[in-house]
Amino acid sequence: MTDAQVKVEDLEIRLLLDALYYRFHYDFRNYAMSSIRRRLRQARVDMGCATISALQEKVLHDADMLPQMLRYLTVQVSEMFRDPGYFKAIREHVVPHLRTYPSLKVWVAGCSTGEELYSLVILFREAGLEERTLFYATDINPDALARAQAGVYDLERVRKFTENHRLSGGDTSLSDYYHTGYDRCVLDKSLRRNVVFSDHSLVSDQVFGEMQFVSCRNVMIYFDRALQDRAIGLFRDALPRNAFLGLGAKETLRFSGHAAAFRDFVPAEKIYQRTGA
Protein backbone atom coordinates (compact mmCIF):
# COMPACT_ATOMS: atom_id res chain seq x y z
CA MET A 1 0.00 0.00 0.00
CA THR A 2 1.14 3.52 -0.66
CA ASP A 3 1.33 6.18 2.05
CA ALA A 4 -1.94 7.72 0.86
CA GLN A 5 -3.72 4.35 0.99
CA VAL A 6 -2.51 3.71 4.52
CA LYS A 7 -3.76 7.14 5.57
CA VAL A 8 -7.22 6.56 4.12
CA GLU A 9 -7.35 3.13 5.72
CA ASP A 10 -6.33 4.59 9.09
CA LEU A 11 -9.11 7.13 8.74
CA GLU A 12 -11.59 4.33 8.02
CA ILE A 13 -10.32 2.45 11.07
CA ARG A 14 -10.84 5.47 13.29
CA LEU A 15 -14.37 5.86 11.97
CA LEU A 16 -15.10 2.18 12.56
CA LEU A 17 -13.83 2.44 16.15
CA ASP A 18 -16.03 5.50 16.65
CA ALA A 19 -18.97 3.52 15.26
CA LEU A 20 -18.32 0.66 17.68
CA TYR A 21 -18.14 3.11 20.53
CA TYR A 22 -21.30 5.05 19.73
CA ARG A 23 -23.29 1.98 18.72
CA PHE A 24 -22.18 -0.54 21.36
CA HIS A 25 -20.15 1.40 23.95
CA TYR A 26 -17.06 -0.68 23.36
CA ASP A 27 -14.16 1.72 23.33
CA PHE A 28 -11.12 0.63 21.31
CA ARG A 29 -10.21 4.16 20.29
CA ASN A 30 -7.02 4.24 22.34
CA TYR A 31 -5.78 0.77 21.61
CA ALA A 32 -2.41 0.38 19.91
CA MET A 33 -3.08 1.19 16.28
CA SER A 34 -0.52 -1.21 14.82
CA SER A 35 -2.30 -4.21 16.26
CA ILE A 36 -5.84 -2.92 15.63
CA ARG A 37 -4.93 -2.24 12.00
CA ARG A 38 -3.69 -5.77 11.55
CA ARG A 39 -6.75 -7.36 13.11
CA LEU A 40 -9.26 -5.20 11.28
CA ARG A 41 -7.55 -6.03 7.99
CA GLN A 42 -8.03 -9.67 8.87
CA ALA A 43 -11.68 -9.09 9.76
CA ARG A 44 -12.24 -7.19 6.52
CA VAL A 45 -10.84 -10.04 4.41
CA ASP A 46 -12.58 -12.80 6.39
CA MET A 47 -15.95 -11.05 6.14
CA GLY A 48 -15.58 -10.45 2.46
CA CYS A 49 -15.61 -6.66 2.63
CA ALA A 50 -13.80 -4.58 0.02
CA THR A 51 -12.97 -1.80 2.47
CA ILE A 52 -12.98 -1.10 6.20
CA SER A 53 -15.85 1.31 5.48
CA ALA A 54 -17.90 -1.60 4.12
CA LEU A 55 -17.13 -3.48 7.30
CA GLN A 56 -18.32 -0.47 9.29
CA GLU A 57 -21.62 -0.52 7.41
CA LYS A 58 -22.12 -4.14 8.47
CA VAL A 59 -21.20 -3.42 12.06
CA LEU A 60 -23.67 -0.57 12.29
CA HIS A 61 -26.62 -2.35 10.76
CA ASP A 62 -26.23 -5.88 12.04
CA ALA A 63 -26.22 -6.29 15.82
CA ASP A 64 -25.05 -9.90 15.48
CA MET A 65 -21.73 -8.57 14.25
CA LEU A 66 -20.64 -7.41 17.71
CA PRO A 67 -19.47 -10.77 19.09
CA GLN A 68 -17.60 -11.39 15.86
CA MET A 69 -15.92 -8.02 15.97
CA LEU A 70 -14.94 -8.58 19.62
CA ARG A 71 -13.30 -11.79 18.55
CA TYR A 72 -11.05 -9.80 16.22
CA LEU A 73 -10.53 -6.78 18.43
CA THR A 74 -9.58 -8.65 21.59
CA VAL A 75 -6.77 -11.17 21.57
CA GLN A 76 -7.71 -14.39 23.37
CA VAL A 77 -4.44 -16.22 23.71
CA SER A 78 -3.65 -17.74 27.09
CA GLU A 79 -2.19 -20.76 28.82
CA MET A 80 -2.20 -22.19 32.34
CA PHE A 81 0.96 -21.22 34.23
CA ARG A 82 2.11 -19.30 31.14
CA ASP A 83 5.70 -18.14 31.81
CA PRO A 84 6.25 -20.58 34.70
CA GLY A 85 8.92 -18.29 36.17
CA TYR A 86 6.23 -15.71 36.94
CA PHE A 87 4.23 -18.18 39.01
CA LYS A 88 7.38 -19.51 40.65
CA ALA A 89 8.24 -15.96 41.72
CA ILE A 90 4.73 -15.54 43.17
CA ARG A 91 5.15 -18.76 45.17
CA GLU A 92 8.57 -17.86 46.44
CA HIS A 93 8.40 -14.12 46.94
CA VAL A 94 4.81 -12.88 47.02
CA VAL A 95 3.09 -15.69 48.95
CA PRO A 96 5.24 -15.25 52.10
CA HIS A 97 3.99 -11.64 52.34
CA LEU A 98 0.39 -12.58 51.61
CA ARG A 99 0.45 -15.15 54.42
CA THR A 100 0.58 -12.32 56.94
CA TYR A 101 -2.93 -11.13 55.95
CA PRO A 102 -6.05 -12.70 57.50
CA SER A 103 -8.02 -12.21 54.29
CA LEU A 104 -7.00 -11.49 50.72
CA LYS A 105 -8.38 -10.11 47.49
CA VAL A 106 -6.81 -10.93 44.16
CA TRP A 107 -7.79 -9.31 40.85
CA VAL A 108 -7.04 -10.99 37.54
CA ALA A 109 -7.68 -8.13 35.10
CA GLY A 110 -8.20 -9.25 31.49
CA CYS A 111 -8.63 -12.88 32.51
CA SER A 112 -9.58 -14.01 29.00
CA THR A 113 -10.71 -17.65 29.05
CA GLY A 114 -9.58 -18.25 32.63
CA GLU A 115 -6.23 -20.01 32.37
CA GLU A 116 -4.34 -17.40 34.39
CA LEU A 117 -7.08 -17.24 37.04
CA TYR A 118 -7.16 -21.00 37.59
CA SER A 119 -3.37 -21.10 37.74
CA LEU A 120 -3.48 -18.61 40.59
CA VAL A 121 -6.31 -20.42 42.39
CA ILE A 122 -4.36 -23.68 42.24
CA LEU A 123 -1.20 -21.93 43.39
CA PHE A 124 -3.07 -20.37 46.31
CA ARG A 125 -4.59 -23.74 47.21
CA GLU A 126 -1.14 -25.31 47.17
CA ALA A 127 0.09 -22.51 49.42
CA GLY A 128 -2.86 -22.91 51.80
CA LEU A 129 -4.18 -19.42 51.03
CA GLU A 130 -7.20 -20.21 48.89
CA GLU A 131 -9.67 -20.34 51.80
CA ARG A 132 -8.98 -16.79 52.84
CA THR A 133 -8.89 -15.35 49.32
CA LEU A 134 -11.54 -13.80 47.13
CA PHE A 135 -10.60 -13.77 43.43
CA TYR A 136 -12.03 -11.27 40.96
CA ALA A 137 -11.71 -12.31 37.33
CA THR A 138 -12.66 -9.57 34.89
CA ASP A 139 -12.70 -9.04 31.14
CA ILE A 140 -14.64 -7.11 28.49
CA ASN A 141 -15.28 -10.05 26.19
CA PRO A 142 -18.47 -11.88 27.30
CA ASP A 143 -17.63 -15.05 25.35
CA ALA A 144 -14.23 -15.24 27.01
CA LEU A 145 -15.78 -14.68 30.45
CA ALA A 146 -18.33 -17.42 29.83
CA ARG A 147 -15.57 -19.82 28.90
CA ALA A 148 -13.55 -18.78 31.92
CA GLN A 149 -16.56 -19.52 34.07
CA ALA A 150 -17.01 -22.93 32.43
CA GLY A 151 -13.35 -23.92 32.95
CA VAL A 152 -13.30 -26.43 30.10
CA TYR A 153 -10.25 -26.72 27.86
CA ASP A 154 -9.13 -28.85 24.93
CA LEU A 155 -7.44 -31.97 26.19
CA GLU A 156 -4.51 -31.49 23.84
CA ARG A 157 -3.49 -28.37 25.77
CA VAL A 158 -3.19 -30.19 29.10
CA ARG A 159 0.26 -31.58 28.46
CA LYS A 160 1.61 -28.03 28.15
CA PHE A 161 -0.37 -26.86 31.21
CA THR A 162 1.06 -29.76 33.22
CA GLU A 163 4.60 -29.05 32.15
CA ASN A 164 4.19 -25.35 33.00
CA HIS A 165 2.68 -26.17 36.38
CA ARG A 166 5.62 -28.41 37.22
CA LEU A 167 8.13 -25.75 36.11
CA SER A 168 6.32 -23.19 38.26
CA GLY A 169 7.19 -25.27 41.32
CA GLY A 170 3.76 -26.85 41.82
CA ASP A 171 4.00 -29.57 44.44
CA THR A 172 0.71 -31.27 43.62
CA SER A 173 -0.32 -33.00 40.43
CA LEU A 174 -2.32 -30.86 38.03
CA SER A 175 -4.54 -33.87 37.38
CA ASP A 176 -5.88 -33.45 40.93
CA TYR A 177 -7.80 -30.43 39.66
CA TYR A 178 -9.58 -31.73 36.58
CA HIS A 179 -11.30 -34.71 35.07
CA THR A 180 -11.37 -35.59 31.41
CA GLY A 181 -14.20 -36.50 29.12
CA TYR A 182 -14.00 -37.04 25.37
CA ASP A 183 -11.42 -34.53 24.18
CA ARG A 184 -12.03 -32.12 27.03
CA CYS A 185 -10.41 -31.30 30.33
CA VAL A 186 -12.98 -30.09 32.86
CA LEU A 187 -11.62 -28.16 35.81
CA ASP A 188 -12.98 -29.03 39.23
CA LYS A 189 -15.75 -26.61 40.13
CA SER A 190 -14.36 -26.25 43.64
CA LEU A 191 -11.71 -24.04 42.02
CA ARG A 192 -14.47 -21.47 41.48
CA ARG A 193 -15.65 -21.47 45.09
CA ASN A 194 -14.03 -18.14 45.83
CA VAL A 195 -14.15 -16.55 42.40
CA VAL A 196 -16.31 -13.69 41.18
CA PHE A 197 -16.44 -13.29 37.40
CA SER A 198 -17.36 -9.90 36.11
CA ASP A 199 -17.52 -7.70 33.07
CA HIS A 200 -15.13 -4.83 33.72
CA SER A 201 -13.23 -2.56 31.35
CA LEU A 202 -9.88 -1.04 32.17
CA VAL A 203 -10.80 1.71 29.71
CA SER A 204 -14.02 2.97 31.23
CA ASP A 205 -14.78 1.34 34.60
CA GLN A 206 -13.62 2.25 38.08
CA VAL A 207 -11.86 0.43 40.87
CA PHE A 208 -14.18 -1.85 42.87
CA GLY A 209 -12.19 -2.63 45.98
CA GLU A 210 -8.87 -2.86 47.73
CA MET A 211 -6.66 -5.71 46.47
CA GLN A 212 -3.52 -7.33 47.82
CA PHE A 213 -2.49 -8.60 44.41
CA VAL A 214 -3.41 -7.60 40.86
CA SER A 215 -2.29 -9.73 37.95
CA CYS A 216 -2.75 -8.04 34.58
CA ARG A 217 -0.75 -9.83 31.94
CA ASN A 218 -0.68 -9.23 28.20
CA VAL A 219 -3.68 -6.94 28.31
CA MET A 220 -2.08 -3.52 28.34
CA ILE A 221 0.24 -4.31 25.42
CA TYR A 222 -2.84 -3.73 23.27
CA PHE A 223 -3.30 -0.21 24.66
CA ASP A 224 -1.51 2.98 23.68
CA ARG A 225 0.64 4.63 26.34
CA ALA A 226 -2.07 7.01 27.53
CA LEU A 227 -4.57 4.20 28.01
CA GLN A 228 -1.92 2.08 29.71
CA ASP A 229 -1.52 4.91 32.15
CA ARG A 230 -5.23 4.99 32.90
CA ALA A 231 -5.22 1.26 33.65
CA ILE A 232 -2.11 1.52 35.80
CA GLY A 233 -3.81 4.37 37.66
CA LEU A 234 -6.66 1.98 38.50
CA PHE A 235 -4.19 -0.56 39.86
CA ARG A 236 -2.48 2.15 41.85
CA ASP A 237 -5.83 3.07 43.42
CA ALA A 238 -6.78 -0.56 44.06
CA LEU A 239 -3.51 -1.46 45.74
CA PRO A 240 -2.66 -0.27 49.23
CA ARG A 241 0.95 0.17 50.30
CA ASN A 242 3.00 -3.06 50.01
CA ALA A 243 0.44 -4.81 47.78
CA PHE A 244 1.61 -6.40 44.52
CA LEU A 245 1.14 -5.92 40.78
CA GLY A 246 2.21 -8.51 38.19
CA LEU A 247 2.52 -7.75 34.49
CA GLY A 248 3.31 -9.75 31.34
CA ALA A 249 6.86 -10.75 30.43
CA LYS A 250 7.50 -7.82 28.08
CA GLU A 251 5.48 -5.15 29.87
CA THR A 252 6.84 -2.42 32.10
CA LEU A 253 5.81 0.43 34.39
CA ARG A 254 8.88 2.36 33.25
CA PHE A 255 6.98 4.62 30.85
CA SER A 256 4.09 5.26 33.21
CA GLY A 257 3.33 8.48 35.03
CA HIS A 258 2.50 6.23 38.00
CA ALA A 259 5.93 4.57 38.06
CA ALA A 260 6.84 6.24 41.36
CA ALA A 261 3.90 4.55 43.07
CA PHE A 262 5.58 1.17 42.57
CA ARG A 263 8.96 -0.37 43.22
CA ASP A 264 10.54 -3.35 41.48
CA PHE A 265 9.88 -6.46 43.53
CA VAL A 266 10.92 -9.31 41.22
CA PRO A 267 12.15 -7.34 38.21
CA ALA A 268 12.88 -10.38 36.00
CA GLU A 269 9.21 -11.45 36.30
CA LYS A 270 7.70 -7.96 36.18
CA ILE A 271 6.33 -8.14 39.71
CA TYR A 272 6.02 -4.75 41.38
CA GLN A 273 5.17 -3.66 44.91
CA ARG A 274 3.15 -0.61 45.78
CA THR A 275 5.05 2.12 47.59
CA GLY A 276 3.45 4.70 49.88
CA ALA A 277 3.56 7.31 47.07
Partner 1 sequence: MTVAATGGAVIIGASAGALDALSLILPALPADFARPILVIVHIPPDKPSALAQILDAKCRLPAVEVGDKDPVVPGVIHVAPPNYHMLIEDEGHFALSGEAEVLFSRPSIDVSFESACDIWGDRLTCIVLTGANQDGARGARMIASAGGTVIVQNPTSAYARAMPEAAIAACPQAKIMTLPEIARHLQEHAR
Ligand X SMILES: C[S@@+](CC[C@H](N)C(=O)[O-])C[C@H]1O[C@@H](n2cnc3c(N)ncnc32)[C@H](O)[C@@H]1O
Q: Nearest 10 degrees: CA dihedral of 47, 48, 53, 57?
A: -60
| Count of residues of this chain found to bind ligand X when the rule CB under 6 A is applied | 21
CA distances to 14, 33, 41, 72, 128 from 38, rounded to whole Å, are 13, 8, 5, 10, 44
Question: Which CB atom, from 141 or from 212, has the smaller least distance to ligand X?
Answer: 141
> If contact means CB under 5 to 8 A according to the sort of partner, which of partner 1, ligand X, none does residue 88 touch?
none
Contact pattern for ligand X over residues 43 through 82, marking x by CB under 6 A = -------------------------------xxxxx---x
DSSP string, 144-170: HHHHHHHTEEEGGGHHHHHHHHHHTT-
| 171 interacts with partner 1 by CB under 8 A | no
Contact of 170 with 194, CB cutoff 8 Å: no
Q: Report CA torsion sign: 198, 204, 209, 211.
A: positive
Q: Which of 99, 193, 255, 275 binds partner 1 (CB under 8 A)?
A: 255
Calpha distance 248→256 (Å, rounded):
15
Under a CB-based contact definition with an 8 Å cutoff, are residues 211 and 105 in contact?
yes
For ligand X, the binding residues in 174-203 under the rule CB under 6 A are 201-203
Q: DSSP per residue over 6-38, as a string?
A: HHHHHHHHHHHHHHHHHHH----TTB-HHHHHH
Strand partners, 185: 153, 180
Q: Is 212 in the site for ligand X (CB under 6 A)?
A: no
Q: Please report whether residue 6 would count as binding partner 1 according to CB under 8 A.
A: yes
C-alpha 5/C-alpha 116 separation (Å) is 40
By CB under 8 A, name the one of 30, 35, 53, 162 that touches partner 1.
35
- The letter for the amino acid at 220 is M
Please report whether residue 34 would count as binding partner 1 according to CB under 8 A: yes
Binding partner of residue 229 among ligand X, partner 1, none, CB cut-off 5 to 8 Å per kind: none
Number of residues that bind partner 1 (CB under 8 A): 26
Does position 228 bind partner 1 by CB under 8 A? yes
Residues within window 95-114 making contact with ligand X, judged by CB under 6 A = 110, 112
Among 144, 174, 214, 232, binds ligand X (CB under 6 A): 144
3-state SS, residue 216: strand
Nearest approach in angstroms of CB 24 to partner 1 is 22
Q: Which residues bind ligand X (CB under 6 A)?
A: 74-78, 82, 110, 112, 115-116, 139-141, 144, 201-203, 217-219, 248
Which residue ranges make up the site for partner 1 (CB under 8 A)? 1-3, 6, 32-35, 37-39, 75, 77, 218, 220-222, 224-225, 228, 248-252, 255
